[in-house]
């Protein structure tokens, strides 16, 4: 749908492109790029290319990578199922205390992840508020399992998705929803048939951000899930452990994580995100 507004904004972008970037913005922008890219470039320079193949063929590494990708994907799935409706509530309803609610659900963004891990213990651990009764009744303990990894990653990563989707919902044109409502659609139908397709690029962007954050999660995972090969030792934990004894292999492992992250971001960007 090419509205006059969208056409105008595209025309403005083209004009900006023609006149170039003002120096007052260019210099800080270049410094910003340098600051963000230089450490990664330094990592690439130090990669032990000759031994890279044998390092990456180690079963422990492949195991950690598989666990990381699987748990980050599961965490993203849970975040989508719970986070999109949550974002809708934050963006579309007028519940009292909504500002407080938004602050509460985004606390994991600013909370040190290690503190998040301890908080998860206090809630879901064997002696936790919920985990305690669960353990007493069924003998099921969540910490130190792959489930704990997924939960820790979800706790830390879901707010990224909620914020992205909420932003997309606020930016979306409400008139389509109003029209649907006028035509007799109830709110659930409107959400499913009108709102969701409208904000899908925002949801995809949020999901990618969420996945990337989950993939790199360290603090909450090592605290709440511990670290054991195959069940809870994800790539970031493997990198940290390798750093203790063998910095070379830690660098190689970091490269893998870097390549997987960038590859996924590029792939998804081509698929979905260009539309935003």
Partner 1 sequence: MTARSVRAGVLALGVLLTGCGGGTVAAEDPADDSLSGIVVVFAAASLTDVFTALGERFETANPEVAVEFNFAGSSTLAQQINQGAPADVFASASPAQTQAVVDAGGIADEATVFVRNTLQIVVPAGNPAGVSGLADFTDAALTLALCAEEVPCGAASATVFEVAGLTPQPDTLEQDARAVLTKVELGEVDAALGYRTDVLAGGDRVEGIDFPESAEAVNDYPIAVLAEAPNPDAAAAWVEFVQSDPSRAVLAEAGFQLP
Residues binding partner 1 (CB under 8 A): 99-100, 102-103, 107, 110-112, 115, 118-119, 121-122, 125-127, 141, 143-144, 222-223, 225-229, 232-233, 240-241, 243-245, 247
Task: Considering the complex, state which of residue 96 and residue 175 has its C-beta at the smaller distance from partner 1.
Answer: 96
Task: Considering the complex, state which of residue 115 and residue 200 has its C-beta at the smaller distance from partner 1.
Answer: 115
Tokens of 38: 């230089």
Rounded distance between C-alpha atoms, residue 215 and residue 67, angstroms: 10
What's the DSSP call for residue 145? Answer: S
Closest among 199, 201, 180, 168 to 272, alpha carbons compared: 201
Shortest distance in whole angstroms from residue 83 CB to partner 1 = 19
Shortest distance in whole angstroms from residue 143 CB to partner 1 = 5
Closest among 142, 162, 165 to 152, alpha carbons compared: 142
3-state class (DSSP) for residue 39: helix
Task: Considering the complex, state which of residue 231 and residue 264 has its C-beta at the smaller distance from partner 1.
Answer: 231
Shortest distance in whole angstroms from residue 172 CB to partner 1 = 24
| Torsion angles phi and psi, residue 275, rounded to 5 | -75, -15
Task: Considering the complex, state which of residue 73 and residue 145 has its C-beta at the smaller distance from partner 1.
Answer: 145
Shortest distance in whole angstroms from residue 174 CB to partner 1 = 25
Task: Considering the complex, state which of residue 176 and residue 240 has its C-beta at the smaller distance from partner 1.
Answer: 240
DSSP labels, 212-243:
HHHHT--HHHHHHT---TTTT--HHHHHHHHH
Shortest distance in whole angstroms from residue 106 CB to partner 1 = 8
């Amino acid at each position: 749908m090419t509205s006059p507004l969208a056409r105008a904004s595209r025309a403005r972008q083209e004009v900006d492109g023609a006149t170039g970037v003002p120096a007052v913005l260019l210099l800080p922008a270049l410094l910003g790029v340098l600051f963000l890219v230089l450490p990664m470039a330094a990592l690439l320079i130090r990669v032990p290319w000759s031994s890279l193949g044998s390092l990456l063929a180690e079963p422990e590494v492949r195991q950690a990578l598989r666990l990381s990708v699987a748990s980050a994907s599961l965490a993203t799935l849970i975040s989508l199922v719970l986070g999109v409706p949550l974002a809708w509530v934050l963006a579309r309803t007028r519940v009292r205390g909504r500002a407080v609610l938004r602050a509460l659900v985004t606390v994991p963004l600013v909370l040190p992840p290690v503190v998040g891990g301890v908080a998860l213990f206090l809630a879901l651990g064997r002696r936790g508020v919920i985990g305690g009764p669960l353990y007493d009744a069924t003998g099921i303990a969540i910490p130190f399992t792959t489930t704990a990894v997924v939960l820790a990653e979800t706790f830390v990563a879901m707010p990224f998705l909620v914020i992205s989707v909420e932003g997309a919902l606020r930016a979306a044109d409400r008139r389509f929803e109003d029209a649907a409502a006028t035509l007799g659609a109830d709110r659930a139908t409107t959400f499913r048939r009108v709102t969701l397709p409208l904000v899908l690029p925002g949801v995809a962007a949020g999901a990618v951000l969420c996945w990337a954050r989950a993939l790199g999660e360290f603090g909450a995972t090592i605290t709440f899930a511990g670290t054991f090969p195959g069940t809870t030792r994800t790539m970031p934990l493997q990198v940290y452990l390798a750093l203790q004894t063998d910095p070379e292999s830690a660098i190689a492992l970091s490269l893998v994580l870097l390549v997987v992250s960038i590859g996924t971001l590029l792939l998804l960007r081509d698929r979905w995100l260009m539309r935003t």
